[in-house]
Amino acid sequence: MSEPDCLVTDEAERMVRTKTLQSCRLSVRVAVSGLRGEVTFHASLREFTSLRIGGPAEALVIPEDVEDLGKLVRQAYAAQVPLFVLGGTNLLVRDGGLLGIVVSLSKFSMIQDESRHVVYAEGGVRMPVLVRHAISRSLSGLEWAAGIPGTVGGSVVMNAGTRLGEMKDSLQAIRLVDLQGQERVHTASSIAFSYRHADIPKGVVVGAWLNLVAAPRTQIERTTKDYLRYRKNTQPLTRPNAGSVFKNPGPQTAGQLIEEAGLKGTRIGDAQISEKHANFIVNLGQARATDVQLLIQTIQQTVFQQTGVSLDPEITIVGES
């Protein structure tokens, strides 16, 4: 192909992309019209991720309630605008940000005792808040979540867990807003769970019922504090991070493989493989998503070359480069 043809092709692609973006922006405005909640265009997502990294959202929406969310989902689905719900900690938003609509369930913050052992928590409830609520009611079953900063909704979707347990262990049912904007209830027994994954019908998890176990409060507090102390001693909880970067391939953990590969402390820009736990990448201040992605690639290539083991990311990477 000659040079002029290349230039014409590049210009044509640029025009098509510009037209597509303009059409998408118009569709986004249609999808968020008439909502009672907060709508912010070109909102930075840095403060909404535990890594403190991320480009802007084309539109960030904080729905007022389930009815408002249902309207948003219906309108976005009709306008063919992608929706992304914030919630889990295992998230990296690329530097180019996210097209479409990003949803924060921060106003979904209610916790309600349904019975002596069953607690209902809305999707935006932070896990530390739910853990404290369970302790105050002398209910055991969430000690594993000590120190996890994610939300209830995000923890359900990714079946969050630690060596002490997983979300599925106490989950009784979920409340979900489907793609038609309707509320549905799905029992935990109807959901297939696996390591850091839950096979949930398409929609937004707006709440969960948890079946906990009565136990002496002092015992629950001791277990929770002991595990939190263990995590503080072994994980870089004082630095912005996204939790475990890779799934454990077994029998060796991902952290052990990365450390044995001599990668602990490796740094690209302000992104660093933690010196405390090799399966964590921390933000030393002004890290970019591209820095983190390069570290992830470095880890995968080095570990595979040395051991033949392919590390599968636990972290979810979304957005535009």
C-alpha to C-alpha distance for 259 and 252, rounded to whole angstroms: 11
The predicted-structure confidence for 235-244, as pLDDT tens digits, reads as follows 999 999 999 9
Q: Could you give the 3-state DSSP secondary structure of residue 260?
A: helix
Q: What is residue 26's predicted lDDT score, i.e. its pLDDT?
A: 72
Domains within the chain, CATH numbers bracketed: 17-103 (3.30.43.10), 111-223 (3.30.465.10), 236-315 (3.90.78.10)
Instruction: Please identify which of the residues 104, 170, 244, 274 carries the catalytic annotation.
Output: 244
Q: What is residue 198's predicted lDDT score, i.e. its pLDDT?
A: 94
C-alpha to C-alpha distance for 150 and 141, rounded to whole angstroms: 17
Placement of tokens 């970067």 in the chain: 245
Whole-angstrom Cα Rg for the chain = 21
Q: At a CB cut-off of 8 Å and minimum separation 6, what does 21 contact?
A: 99
Instruction: Please identify which of the residues 196, 259, 274, 288 carries the catalytic annotation.
Output: 196
Q: What is residue 89's predicted lDDT score, i.e. its pLDDT?
A: 79
Residue 231 CB neighbours (<10 A) = 17
Residue type, 90: N
Give how far Cα 21 sits from Cα of 43, 48, 84, 98, 292, Å. 17, 24, 18, 12, 27
Residue 282 CB neighbours (<10 A) = 25
Mean predicted confidence (pLDDT) in 7-26: 46
pLDDT band at 263 (very low <50, low <70, confident <90, very high): very high
Check if 196 is active-site: yes
Q: What is residue 209's predicted lDDT score, i.e. its pLDDT?
A: 98
Q: What is residue 194's predicted lDDT score, i.e. its pLDDT?
A: 92
pLDDT surpasses 70 at 15: no
Instruction: Please identify which of the residues 122, 166, 259, 314 carries the catalytic annotation.
Output: 314
Q: What is residue 216's predicted lDDT score, i.e. its pLDDT?
A: 97
CB 93 within 8 A of CB 49: yes
The predicted-structure confidence for 98-112, as pLDDT tens digits, reads as follows 999 999 999 999 999
Kindly report which listed range (16-20, 162-166, 198-202, 274-278) carries the lowest average pLDDT score. 16-20
Check if 244 is active-site: yes
CB 130 within 8 A of CB 160: no
